[in-house]
């Protein structure tokens, strides 16, 4: 099982030297990948009664730009988990992802999801209500743009007339993973994705969802073993020893990857995040 970390988006600050030192320390400790997730704008809760979730005061580094920076500094695999794909232009995402794949030597996975925030969709000029249908077409368009020099495509949401990307990504492909937990999402993963990010504990419910995912894969003629599984354990949920136990349980469930998330744990400095990361790696090996 490949072990990585979740980039502490909200808590690392905006000093590029701190980001550099964090990533290089993570690599030096023997981690193999870094996960970052995506939000473009945050809502002002003063203007929106009963708002829950991140706000305009929540710091988020833009993943593609961040990964261009990290690709020059480390050899870590770079993973989005997730980019909210339907609120972004598909051809532009294809271009940005191809560039990150090139700069990282092919060590890039594109994790995608539909998101939950209509405020963000509105700000980006996209349709929140059609996001489920849109993402399926987006996956098809992404793979065409990465694999074909010239693409002609007409769908419900996209029109491309004899156009293509240059440069194309290594192997003319980028792994697409999906995050979420609904039954609709599991069916989508089984049909379209290279891997799944389950945001849950390694419990009976998760085991049942994994079994359902594998059943859906078999129903569409796919070998379930071809679907990667990236779990996440968080220091906000328990002490490091508990996280190590959950890591072992994820390994038993067949997870192929796991990341350690240190956000929302009361850490005040990057050094405190790194201390937790260091201790976890000492215990899991």
pLDDT digits 0-9 by tens, 18-33: 999 999 999 999 999 9
Residue 277 and residue 5 in contact, taking contact as beta carbons nearer than 8 Å: yes
> Distances in Å between the alpha carbon of 284 and those of 29, 32, 253, 279, 281?
12, 13, 16, 9, 5
What's the mean per-residue pLDDT of the chain? 97
| Site of tokens 């609904």 | 182
Q: Closest Cα partner for 144 from 165, 130, 175?
A: 165
| Site of tokens 């990282």 | 104
DSSP summary character for residue 14: S
- Pairwise CA distance, residues 188 & 165, whole Å: 26
> Distances in Å between the alpha carbon of 179 and those of 30, 122, 208, 216?
25, 22, 17, 16
Residue 285: pLDDT above 90? no
pLDDT for res 157? 98
- Pairwise CA distance, residues 177 & 195, whole Å: 4
Per domain, the residue ranges of the chain are 2-284
**Residue 157 corresponds to which tokens in the numbers above?**
């949401």
Question: What is the β-pairing status of strands 176-179 and 195-197?
Answer: parallel
pLDDT band at 214 (very low <50, low <70, confident <90, very high): very high
| Site of tokens 């992802």 | 97
Question: What is the β-pairing status of strands 159-163 and 151-154?
Answer: antiparallel
Q: Closest Cα partner for 80 from 16, 4, 19?
A: 4
Dihedral angle of Cα 216, 222, 228, 234, to the nearest 10 degrees: 0
Residue 196 and residue 178 in contact, taking contact as beta carbons nearer than 8 Å: yes
- Pairwise CA distance, residues 266 & 235, whole Å: 10
pLDDT for res 278? 98
- Pairwise CA distance, residues 22 & 5, whole Å: 11
Angle at 164 between CA 159 and CA 166, to 5 degrees: 150
pLDDT digits 0-9 by tens, 152-210: 999 999 999 999 999 999 999 999 999 999 999 999 999 999 999 998 999 999 999 99
Question: Above pLDDT 70, what percent of the chain?
Answer: 100
Angle at 40 between CA 38 and CA 42, to 5 degrees: 110
pLDDT for res 148? 98
Mapped onto helix, strand or coil, the DSSP state of residue 131 is helix
pLDDT band at 104 (very low <50, low <70, confident <90, very high): very high
- CATH classification of 2-284 is 1.20.1250.20, yes or no? no
Instruction: List the beta bridge partners of residue 34.
Output: 5, 78
pLDDT band at 101 (very low <50, low <70, confident <90, very high): very high
């Amino acid at each position: 099982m490949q072990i990585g970390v979740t980039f502490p988006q909200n808590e690392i600050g905006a000093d590029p030297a701190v980001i550099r030192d964090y990533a290089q320390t993570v690599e030096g400790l023997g981690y193999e990948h870094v996960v970052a997730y995506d939000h473009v704008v945050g809502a002002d809760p003063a203007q929106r009664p009963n708002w829950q979730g991140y706000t305009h005061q929540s710091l988020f580094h833009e993943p593609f730009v961040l990964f261009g920076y990290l690709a020059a500094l480390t050899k870590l695999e770079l993973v989005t988990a997730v980019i909210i794909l339907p609120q972004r232009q598909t051809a532009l995402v294809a271009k940005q992802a191809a560039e990150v794949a090139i700069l990282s030597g092919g060590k890039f996975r594109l994790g995608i999801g539909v998101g939950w925030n209509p405020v963000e969709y509105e700000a980006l000029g996209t349709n929140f209500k059609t996001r489920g249908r849109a993402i399926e077409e987006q996956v098809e368009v992404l793979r065409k743009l990465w694999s074909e020099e010239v693409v002609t495509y007409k769908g419900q949401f996209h029109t491309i007339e004899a156009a293509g990307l240059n440069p194309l990504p290594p192997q003319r492909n980028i792994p697409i993973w999906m995050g979420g937990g609904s039954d609709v999402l599991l069916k989508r993963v089984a049909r379209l994705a290279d891997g799944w990010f389950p945001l849950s504990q390694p419990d009976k419910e998760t085991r049942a969802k994994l079994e359902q995912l594998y059943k859906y894969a078999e129903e569409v003629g796919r070998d379930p073993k071809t679907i990667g599984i990236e779990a996440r354990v968080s220091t906000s949920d328990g002490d490091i020893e508990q996280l190590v136990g959950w890591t072992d349980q994820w390994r038993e469930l067949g997870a192929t990857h796991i990341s350690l998330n240190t956000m929302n744990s009361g850490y005040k400095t990057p050094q405190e995040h790194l201390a937790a990361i260091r201790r976890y790696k000492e215990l899991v090996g």
